[in-house]
Amino acid sequence: MKKLFAIALFAGTFTTAKSQIYLQGGVNLANISTSNSGATQKNNMLTTFNAGIMGRSNSTEPIALEAGLLLEGRGAKADTYLTSSTTDNYVKTKFNPLYLELPVNFLIRLPLQNKSNIFFNAGPYVAMGIGGKSKIETKFLGSVSNSTSDIQFNNDNPSTTQQEDASYDKLKRFDYGVNVGGGFDLGSVILKANYSLGMAKINSTQSDNSANDKNKYRTVSVSVGIPIHRKK
């Protein structure tokens, strides 16, 4: 019932006068920070996707609120070569968890010609892990083997400060962070770029998120939006 109420509230907020609703889909360049300062390794970047529905509180005013529900691919990859060869004697891993994300953005528009605009957005997000796969491919002396396993999340109660069901082989069920981005609204299509800065350590046994910025999601997204509802 609570989920249905939240969906109804979202729909009611963004189907009022001057609202705008659009379908979104695009590419995510996902990574995980590897240093205490939050830096990532470029060769660990994983190509995945984003898709969902977004709504804006108005379609023409300089300032608006934006929220939605997105299916987001996160994660990273790692290629380890045991010799100088890049075609043999290697271990390649792909770690690709999937999250349902609720972003809430503050939006600023600058008008362009023909009723189009350039916009900038920033705001927090919360996300819940729902699935994903971890894949390993090894090749040694010409012999190839592959294995795939489901990514596991802990059964955390978000109303507490503890990580219930924590384990070294499980991710935190809930993630949170900040989105910063911008793009162009051309009327019939919306072009977007976004940077997602995760603020929670991803493993369920890691409790002190503020200790450093290691093991947090970092995701660059490029997306296309198609308006399905626009009231002026």
Query: In this structure, what CATH number is given to the domain that contains residue 134?
Result: 2.40.160.20
How far, in Å, CA of 220 to CA of 29, rounded?
A: 5
**Is residue 65 predicted with pLDDT exceeding 70?**
yes
Q: What is the mean pLDDT of residues 40-68?
A: 93
Q: Which amino acid is at 83?
A: T
Band (pLDDT 50/70/90 cuts) for residue 91 is very high
CA nearest neighbour of 30 among 107, 88, 97: 97
Mean model confidence pLDDT for the chain: 90
Position 4 scores a pLDDT of 42
Q: What is the mean pLDDT of residues 157-185?
A: 94
Position 190 scores a pLDDT of 97
Percent with pLDDT over 70 in the chain: 91
Where is 5: in which H helix or E strand?
Answer: helix 2-13
Query: Which one is predicted more confidently, 147 or 11?
Result: 147
For residue 71, with 0-12 CB atoms within 10 Å meaning exposed, 13-18 middle and 19 or more buried, which class applies?
Answer: middle
How far, in Å, CA of 78 to CA of 145, rounded?
A: 16
Where is 91: in which H helix or E strand?
Answer: strand 90-111
Position 13 scores a pLDDT of 53
Position 1 scores a pLDDT of 42
Number of separate domains in the chain: 1
* Structure-token pair, residue 97: 């968890």
Q: Highest-confidence range of 39-48, 88-97, 191-200, by mean pLDDT?
A: 191-200
**Is residue 94 predicted with pLDDT exceeding 80?**
yes
Q: Which residue range(s) make up the domain with 67?
A: 2-230
For the ranges 3-7, 24-28, 96-100, 146-150, the lowest mean pLDDT is seen at: 3-7
Q: Which amino acid is at 220?
A: V
Q: What is the mean pLDDT of residues 200-224?
A: 95
CA nearest neighbour of 151 among 209, 204, 213: 204
* Structure-token pair, residue 196: 């997602």
For the ranges 8-17, 39-48, 65-74, 193-202, the lowest mean pLDDT is seen at: 8-17
Q: Which amino acid is at 140?
A: F
